[in-house]
Amino acid sequence: MKKLLLVSGLLLGLTACSSPREPQMTIAPQPSVSSVPVAQSKPVTVESRDLRTAQFVAVVDNGRKNVQPIQATSNVRVVLEDALIRQLNSQGYKVVADSKGKLRMDLLDALVKVEHSVFSHTMNTNVQIQLVADNGQNKFVKRYTGKSTTEGSTSASVEDMEMALNSLLEAVLQDIARDQQLMTFMNENF
């Protein structure tokens, strides 16, 4: 009986290992690194929230009611918060655990929608991030949005979707880095 349990356990373990895994996307946008600091070690506390309605980062529609959601390999909110912190550090801000100046990043949308037909695909990518800068008395709120559409003659790979989403996230991070209104508010109120 013990041998039978051992053999059946091994078979279950082997079948679990050999089952196909769902594809996942690696989200790793590079921050916009500044060569000239805009702040002189001004302290800022960075927080983030993921306010997306769904946690997947891509949806592939192959027609015939065959829709496949694709998840990210890591937490998108954490990855974006880390990129934003590195970006702020390069701009001369000092990110600390607690300060009067708080910058909150709300992730509102980060999604690639792919529609496949017999001989082509269309890929629509959307990113929306809201930043809230607050010192307890004054508040600055702004949304940063990015959209792109690409078409191809073959099916879209996971790598194509990763490139589309990472490129758009980097473009939105670059918009944040270049936003003079945001920098002015942070320098005057933090």
pLDDT(39) > 50: yes
Length of the chain: 190
Instruction: Provide the angle, in degrees to the nearest 10, between the axes of the packed helices 158-178 and 76-90.
Output: 40
pLDDT(190) > 80: yes
Q: What is the mean pLDDT of residues 41-65?
A: 94
* Strand pairing category for 58-61 and 102-116: parallel
Query: Which H helix or E strand runs over 46?
Result: strand 43-50
pTM of the complete model: 0.87
Residue pair 89/95 in contact (Cβ under 8 Å)? The answer is: yes
State the DSSP code for 108. E
Phi, psi angle pair for 63, to nearest 5°: 80, 180
Percentage of the chain modeled with pLDDT above 90 = 80
Phi, psi angle pair for 62, to nearest 5°: -95, 10
User: Per-domain residue ranges for the chain?
Assistant: 24-189
Q: In this predicted structure, what is the pLDDT of residue 93?
A: 97
For residue 55, give Cα distances in angstroms to 51, 52, 109, 171: 9, 7, 10, 21
- The pLDDT tens digits of the residues spanning 2-38 come to 554 455 555 555 444 544 578 999 999 999 998 888 9
Instruction: Report residue 12 CA to chain centroid gap.
Output: 36
Of 43, 57, 68, whose CA–CA distance to 155 is shortest? 68
Distance separating alpha carbons of residues 151 and 143, to the nearest angstrom = 27
pLDDT(165) > 60: yes
Q: In this predicted structure, what is the pLDDT of residue 119?
A: 87
- Which pair of structure tokens corresponds to residue 37? 């600091």
- The pLDDT tens digits of the residues spanning 107-157 come to 999 999 999 888 899 999 999 999 999 999 999 999 999 999 999 998 899
Question: Mean pLDDT across the chain, nearest whole number?
Answer: 91
Q: In this predicted structure, what is the pLDDT of residue 18?
A: 46
Residue pair 135/101 in contact (Cβ under 8 Å)? The answer is: yes
Quickly tell me which residue has 């078979």 as its tokens. 11
Q: What is the mean pLDDT of residues 70-85?
A: 98
Q: Under CATH, to which class is 24-189 assigned? A: alpha beta
